[in-house]
A and B are shown apart, each in its own frame.
Chain A
Amino acid sequence: MFDISFLYEAKDVKDAIKRLSENPNSEIISGGTDVLIRVREGKDAGMGLVSIHNIAELKGVKQDGSGNIIIGAGTCFYDITHNEIIQKYIPSLGEAVNTVGGPQIRQTGTIGGNICNGATSADSASTMTALQADIVLEGPNGERVVNIKDFYTGPGKTVRDRCEVCKHFVIKKENFENYYGYYFKYGKRKSLEIATLGCSVLVKLNGAKDAIEDVKIAYGVAAPTPSRAYKAEEFAKGKKLNDKTLLDEFAKLALEEMKPRDSWRASKEFREQLIKEMAKRSLVNSIRRAGGRIEYYV
């Protein structure tokens, strides 16, 4: 039995918002794979839970008229990985969420919860940051759209108000079309592991496939919030793939913008080493997926 004061199954998003506003000591539960564990640990004990678990409108992946991909916040990780649209356009996101927890967790855990938890270690967060996803929130005062770069305010903190329900994520066509990506998760184990460091790269090559047209790189756990390395991105734009200094300089600039810290999982120094190495390997893998040739030996 979980130590909660009540569980309310919301019929739809409006119903959930109403219930959350009425009860100051309540929070949203979607997949439950984080919330129920926090309750069990006593951290959220005694809270009321408003469940959006079975709300159909929050589930599924679809494309709108202009080709933007819309991911429902209540879509579980398994469904994202196995979705045709995701596999066709942004397979690196499917791969990233396929590293969350274990297979059983991925059946219930949702991408909305992963992002709204505010954890820098969330496996979907770095790829969603690289994709510059828009987060659609609905609260008592109506709907608002927040870009993921303005969403996180600190470790475990986001701009989402307690009464706001995250409805879906919008990934604009120009942010994924012709981009090829790679998500690199470093952990001590292959499964059921929280990332020591996560790195997601999206790259677009020019027509001849011999130079980088655009690149996005985002990290998880390299700073208090998932963050992009803008300087490295700027540097790599337009660089030829056979440029010998490309990888080293890219990695060095990526590190400059990150603020890793010591934790029981890894030291600051080790994380700094990871940031550099993962930048190189993720970029190389993305370039190869995009059809480019680049020399790099691991």
Chain B
Amino acid sequence: MFEVAPFIPFFVAAVLGLLLRGWLRAAVFIAVPVLGLANLWLLGTSSASIEFGHYSILDFNLLLFKADKLSLLFGYLFHIAALISVIYALHVRDTLQQVASMLYAGSALGAVFAGDLLTLFIFWELLALTSVFLVWARRSGRAYVAGLRYFTLHILSGLLLLGGIIFYAQTHGSLEFGPIGLDGTAYGWMIFLAFGIKCAFPFFHNWLTDAYPESTPTGTVFLSAFTTKVAVYALARSYPGTELLVYIGATMACFPIFYAVIENDLRRVLAYSLINQLGFMVVGIGIGTSLAINGAVAHAFNDVIFKGLLFMSMGAVLHVTGKINGSELGGLYKKMPKTTVLCIIGAASISAFPLFSGFVSKSMVMSAAIKNGHDWVWLILLFASAGVFHHAGIKIPYFAFFAHDAKLPAREPPVNMLLAMSIAAALCLTIGIYPQALYSLLPYETPYTPYDVTHVLTQLQLLFFSALAFVWLNLRHLYPPELPSVNLDVEWIYRRLVPDAMRALFNRLFALDDRLRSAAVGGVERLVEGVASHHRADGVMARNWLTGSMVAGVVMLLGVYLVLGWV
């Protein structure tokens, strides 16, 4: 057991990744999350609260590593996610991606174990800075502009966080990363909004659906694991029991499923469904009871794994066929049977089928909602659960692997991809069948039994009749076909409305400027013309004067002098 902050080995591995190639780099990249997880486990079981790595900037005492059960759970999760994603990306030769992904995973760990707000801020910005390279690594025009938008929003989130921290430090004289709450203070709202942007709150969610699907097949798997879960962790630490979060979460669980139904890019469908799952976690944090918080973090844990599995299966499809649009895919189960089965395990987990991981965590949040009198929220979450099954559980596997056979040339993905997916699938099943393994790691001691007759029966009824709706709609040709299209979302404001408005404004300004300039030029021209007109052949200034009239003038002048002398 070493007292070393978990991000350090990842950063060291990233530097080594620059120098090493081939199996040596692979060995280092696999060893770091495995050994890191073992070390963290020993640290976590050694004592109740652990902290080390004190340093100071200006007058503030900062802390690199502070752990309790909440941060330890996310720490374990991020090590597992890093391991799975690293294995999934082993075939990638692109050093930029490999290095960026290690730095990114390390930043997430740094943020989760940050002992104070300033340390959190540093890793918050590092998360944005390192992850944007995973978007750009696709090296397409779309990825480039999407990455720019992604980066801008995350920097905005970081600036809000920094502003909030400054106000917080002025008020409290400390930088403690603990409960903050929304009690009308400016810093409370600023930090809330900073966390909210990273957590893809409604109106700030489009960075996710914009950038994630534009990343590389392997990059998206890393992206889906860390950024939003760090935000969930930060919300759980600083804003538990904030009622506003219940309504924000319910909105997040609900609206993306409509988009997911009509979206064609299957990785974008998953991005929308990621927001939907975040909604469940945010509701749990908003309710704030020990059961609800446990449910939120347990669901975050499961979501990283099953959403990772789904992104991996779609990444495999993209890797093998070069296509990801539902309208171009279909019938791949014949050539990719293993990927199909693994994808279906992920789909069953996200849909919360009994014996799969989603079942044992989503229900905790729902049960907490109803126990705390949020009836309408419960109904919305129930609708969202049915909707998840509809778009992520059925649509993803159906349009990729079944439906009409697109007769694409395909084969199973490389063995490291299959291995990573198998590990994730095994975890989904293990947690689903033996939930106590996960429950024992949760921050609060609250007994909860997911498997009773009522719960299993009602969940199966909900899911089977959702599936029945899909079958009926499909047989009746009422199901919306997959169409190559773009669906407008909030991003339209900053991708179309504002640029158009700016363009119109500048055109107007240029026109005005043009008119002013031509008016000024015209004025000068008229002036020159006027002056010139007096000097031309017939002008006043160009006239000839008679000598006689000059003599008369002189005589008159002398006369005036004479008169003046007389007086």
A and B co-occur in one complex = no
Listed in ascending order, the chain B residues whose CB lies under 8 Å from chain A are: none
